[in-house]
Amino acid sequence: MPAPHSAQPPVTVATLRDQVSTILRAAGIVDPEVDADLLIGHVLGQSRGQIQAAGIVGTSLSETDAATILELTARRATREPLQHITGKAPFRQLELSVGPGVFVPRPETEQVVQFAIDALMSMPDAEPIGIDLGTGSGAIALAMATEVPHARIFAAENSPEAFPWTTKNFADSGATNATLVFGDLADAFPELNGTVAVVISNPPYIPAAAIPRDPEVRLFDPAHALYGGEDGLDVVRDVSQTGLRLLRSGGVLVLEHGELQGAEIRAILDADGWRATATHRDYTTRDRATTAIRP
């Protein structure tokens, strides 16, 4: 008499986590265990900590969930950004919606926006005005609006592909003190000329001939958000001029940029008449932001 057919043992979170990590490591993902936790957590609706706990206690997965996780893993192995797969990008206290057409906010920008937040908090105005030029997903503007609720925040974005994501994030944030417009940063907000406390921008700053190393950037981030002309600084020059127009005397300009661009950007700002230009490093000790004061 033949032995009864036995069902396959259920897949555990720990086993699948190891399998996903192995696939992602082979694909060149820098932190495969982190991505594995986040992919599994996305499908199960759980935090990274909950996934790690589930792995320790031997929690099982349904066949459907396991198959879905492996499908998403295959996408990540092509170097599609994790944030495009989950549709979400954390940024400071926010969770932003992102996808094709919009630049995915980076952890280093969380440090850059702190300069703008600190400047807004230091202003004596009852409602200091902050402006984010080229807001993309809205990360910088919405961080300012939600963390400095007495400020009035304005943001401009001119990419038709990015703007739907920006609009959704502004709506989802519930920040009633944040205003979004579709338009070019060079001529944005003329009605605010000379009244603004802080102008911040993370402009496209990669030179046209430079090719980003990471496939996630090279293949998936929009070129509109990456490339800033032959030397990478065309939009920086526009931001300098727009900042001079918008800021009042004593107002603060904050620019994010590449690690080798601080000296060139300070030279541009100094030539335009800004005061107290200074370049600041990020946590990896790379130059990441330059600040200046409107005379």
For the record, the structure tokens of 240 come out as 């300098």
Q: How many CB atoms lie within 10 A of CB 172?
A: 14
What CA–CA distance (Å, rounded) separates 192 from 245? 9
Relative to beta strand 60-61, strand 11-12 is: antiparallel
Which among 277, 231, 256 is positioned nearest to 133, based on CA atoms? 256
Long-range interactions of 259-266: CB distance < 8 A, separation 24+? 259/286, 259/287, 259/288, 260/287, 261/205, 261/232, 261/233, 261/287, 262/287, 262/290, 264/231, 264/233, 265/233, 265/236, 265/290, 266/290
- From the number of C-beta atoms within 10 Å of its C-beta (0-12, 13-18, 19+), residue 12 rates as middle
* DSSP per position, 179-222: EEEES-GGG--GGGTT-EEEEEE----B-TT---SSHIIIIIS-
47: left (phi over 0), alpha (psi -120 to 50) or beta: beta
CB atoms within 10 A of CB 111: 18
Is residue 95 left, alpha or beta, with left meaning phi > 0 and alpha meaning psi from -120 to 50?
A: beta
Residue 46 half-sphere exposure toward CB, CA atoms < 13 A:
17
Total length of the chain: 295
Tokens of 227: 């490339």
Which residues are marked as active site?
A: 103, 202-203
